[in-house]
Structure 1
Amino acid sequence: MKIEIRRTADCAEYDTDERCAILEIANDPSDPEVSIARARVAPGVTTAWHRLVDTQERYIILTGKGRVELADRPAADVGPGDVVRIPAGVAQRIENTADTDLLFYAICSPRFRPECYIAME
């Protein structure tokens, strides 16, 4: 890892097939142990079922309200300040249950790589 300040203003948000928008804040080979992205889910939208191979993920809810589903566990409501920890390989999705955007950080370890993403729909 190198000494660096990453600014979200220098990043471009993009839409995904997963039905959310991603702003990659930190995800590059110079810091292979972690990646940080901000996810945005529009009101009424549920992201696609997916899992990450060999990659653990944590959601830190920033704003809005949602309902997260993990594997076969009962759905759980989440809101600002909540942390959702998702072990590698666990099926997951999140629904925005509010009238405003649901924003959360998705922190992956090791860093997210497209080949670790498995679509389940």
Structure 2
Amino acid sequence: MYIKDIKEEEYFRSADGCILCELLHRKNEDFDLRIGYSIAHAVVPACEKTVPHRLKESSEVYYILSGKGMMHIDGESKEVFPGQAVYIPPGAVQYIENTTGSDLIFLAVADPEWKGKDEEIIT
């Protein structure tokens, strides 16, 4: 049995500006984790937003845990709330905006797993 405790993991600021903790990713494990996707715990601090970016090969799903915000995908924008899952197709230009005074927290699932070379920041 394999269990990871988020309280024991490290967070970092990703290229898109999000604060991330990679919960499950094959590159971080010292055994053969047999999954083709990755899961990250993501935080967008109060009144911040990520920068527009795209994953060229991977699709993503954001599952909103707490807070609320505005999801932007390929020029379309919709408000997001806890309990919602957002599908982001490969190649779509995306960013998420925290519209509140508290953290926006979500899980980011990338399939196939997230790779730095797959991510393109849009300037």
Normalised by the length of structure 1, the TM-score is: 0.92
Alignment match, 2:119:
117
- Which of these residues, 11, 15, 18, is aligned with residue 17 of structure 1? 15
State the distance in 2 between where 1:47 and 1:31 align. 30
Structure 1 segment 1-121 matched on structure 2, within 5 A: 3-29=1-27, 30-73=33-76, 75-121=77-123
Q: Which amino acid aligns with 2:97?
A: E
C-alpha distance in 1 between matches for 2:56 and 2:2: 28
Q: Deviations over 1:74-114 (max 9, x none)?
A: x1000100110011110000000011000000001011011
- Mapped contact 2:15–2:121 kept (Cα < 8 A): no
Distance 1:31 1:119 in 2: 29
Shift of 1:31: 3.4
**CA offset at residue 4 of structure 1?**
1.7
Distance 1:53 1:32, change over 3 A: farther
Root mean square deviation, CA, Å: 1.2
SS in 2 for 1:77: strand
In structure 1, the residue corresponding to 2:26 is in which secondary structure? coil
How many correspondences in the alignment? 118
TM score, norm. by length of structure 2: 0.90
Q: Distance in 2 between matches of 1:86 and 1:67?
A: 14
Taking the aligned partners of 2:119 and 2:21, their CA distance within structure 1 comes to 17
Sequence identity percentage: 31
